[in-house]
Structure 1
Amino acid sequence: MLLKDKLMTALTLWCTFLMGYIDTYAFLHYDDLLVSAQTGNLVLLGANLRNGLSVIMPHVASFGGFLLGAFLAEALVEFTTKNSSRKFSVYILIQIIVLFGVAYFENLIGVYGFAVVLGAFSGYTLTVFNRVGTTKINNGIMTGNVQKLMTQLYRVIFLREKNAWSVSRVILIGVLTFIIGIFTSALLYINFASHMMMIAAFLSLIVFFVIVLVGRVPQK
């Protein structure tokens, strides 16, 4: 596997963890808000229509931010397609800037600002980091991943397809990583509710330094 493929795999799994972490925090801290799982966010939006605009607007803001983030991320991917593995450092650096910004100004921007920024952040992350090995996964919305996992398992069991086992294993790792992010966030929230975004920012900073160091290692 090439270095860029290894980096993409590692970063996709990291971002899968991060999406589980952030979505859980948003759900707990902002009255059932979701920023990456837009299927659930839209369901909550519709279910709360009877409760008035003040209740549904954070969900609208999250959805709008997600659309914008995915759109701009695709432009970034196209712009950096020809670059080397250094592009991954740029991708993570953008993450770090956003996370530290939210961590410092979360009280100032409020729920609407949080919903827009983290919705855009999630759209960006899901667009940029979406591959483990040669298998594409959605690292923030598990419904499609679980469905694909079960169809691939059918092919493994009944059709004896070797490639299907490789795909199902990758998807299973992704789903489990997302779940670990959820439980980590839920446990940390008990004692560190006011520091959750700062923790995410520092973890991303560690990932950034690892990517820089790996990128400087001479390849044989």
Structure 2
Amino acid sequence: MIQLTDKNSPLHEKLEIGILLAIVGGFLDSYSFLCYDGVFANAQTGNMVLLGISLMNGDYIHFLNYLIPIIAFSLGILMTEYLLKHVSAYFFILVLIIQIVMLFIIAFLPSSMPSVIITSSISFMCSIQMGSFRNICGSPYASTMCTGNLRSAMTLLFAAITTRNSNALVQSLRYLVVIFFFCVGAVIGAISVHGLGRLSILICCLLFAVLLILISYQLLSTKLHGK
């Protein structure tokens, strides 16, 4: 029987955590695209393509709408590296608190707020997620986009078929599970937006709160056990 989970992995690298993060990743891309002028929160490649098209069309308003989230995403990665270096002991707890607070604020911002501010804030938050949760069961992955995951899944699947490598098959299936739940998150996001509008982003706050409780509990248990 194929075992996709890995008991030896730290909590933040477990498949279950990767699934929750993938749901959030798909949800936020769907949410930002539907609510805010077709801008992707996570897929900066898509924003770069749309940026180029806007520039060629002389549509400088939309050009800025795509450029600013790209810059915000980049700044988020830089901040994540800083936090990882200076607050390593409570890194994941701090990251999750930042994400929850940001999304909660975004949910209640007035409709008059320029959409570029909101999409940039979501992009910033998503880059923190991507920069913080980098591995799943010891393998690099992305919870906020799927192109790299799909490449890794197919490469490992080819290795599994041609060399009968069971470990490669397990790794490939993990990537495919993450991709599947990213798509599930996108569907949930689309349904939620139609039902709850911009407040639907609070669902992501709830998922992050679950992760915060799990990781805080693990940290507390580890400290008590260490004593």
**TM-score for the superposition, normalised by structure 2:** 0.86
1:44 Cα shift? 1.5
Matched-pair contact (CA < 8 Å) for 2:36–2:115: yes
Q: Residues 112-150 of structure 1: CA distance to partner in whole angstroms, max 9, x if unpaired? A: 211221111111110001211111101112111111111
Q: 1:29 to 1:57 in 2, by over 3 A?
A: same
Matched, 1:47 2:53: yes
Q: Please, which moves more after superposition, 66-75 or 203-212? A: 203-212
Matched, 1:7 2:8: no
Matched, 1:57 2:61: no
Unaligned ranges ≥5, structure 2:
1-5
Letter of the aligned partner of 2:141 in structure 1?
Answer: I
1:64 Cα shift? 0.5
Q: Could you tell me how far apart the structure 2 residues matched to 1:133 and 1:202 are?
A: 24
Aligned to 1:68: 75
Q: Could you tell me how far apart the structure 2 residues matched to 1:40 and 1:106 are?
A: 27
Q: Could you tell me how far apart the structure 1 residues matched to 2:211 and 2:148 are?
A: 27
Unaligned ranges ≥5, structure 1:
none
Matched-pair contact (CA < 8 Å) for 2:103–2:201: yes
Matched-pair contact (CA < 8 Å) for 1:59–1:115: no
Q: 1:98 to 1:11 in 2, by over 3 A?
A: farther
Aligned to 1:194: 198
Q: Could you tell me how far apart the structure 1 residues matched to 2:85 and 2:112 are?
A: 34
1:165 Cα shift? 1.4
Q: Could you tell me how far apart the structure 2 residues matched to 1:109 and 1:188 are?
A: 21
Matched-pair contact (CA < 8 Å) for 1:13–1:132: no
Q: Could you tell me how far apart the structure 2 residues matched to 1:134 and 1:113 are?
A: 35
Matched, 1:38 2:44: yes
Letter of the aligned partner of 1:131 in structure 2?
Answer: N
Matched residue of 1:34: which SS? coil
Q: 1:153 to 1:70 in 2, by over 3 A?
A: same
Matched-pair contact (CA < 8 Å) for 1:61–1:119: no
Matched-pair contact (CA < 8 Å) for 2:92–2:215: yes
Letter of the aligned partner of 2:105 in structure 1?
Answer: G
Matched-pair contact (CA < 8 Å) for 1:23–1:35: yes
1:122 to 100, 122, 126: 126
1:211 Cα shift? 3.1
Q: Could you tell me how far apart the structure 1 residues matched to 2:162 and 2:92 are?
A: 39
Aligned to 1:167: 171
Aligned residues: 217
Q: Aligned-pair RMSD on alpha carbons? A: 2.2
Matched-pair contact (CA < 8 Å) for 1:89–1:208: yes
Matched, 1:145 2:152: no
Q: Could you tell me how far apart the structure 1 residues matched to 2:110 and 2:120 are?
A: 12
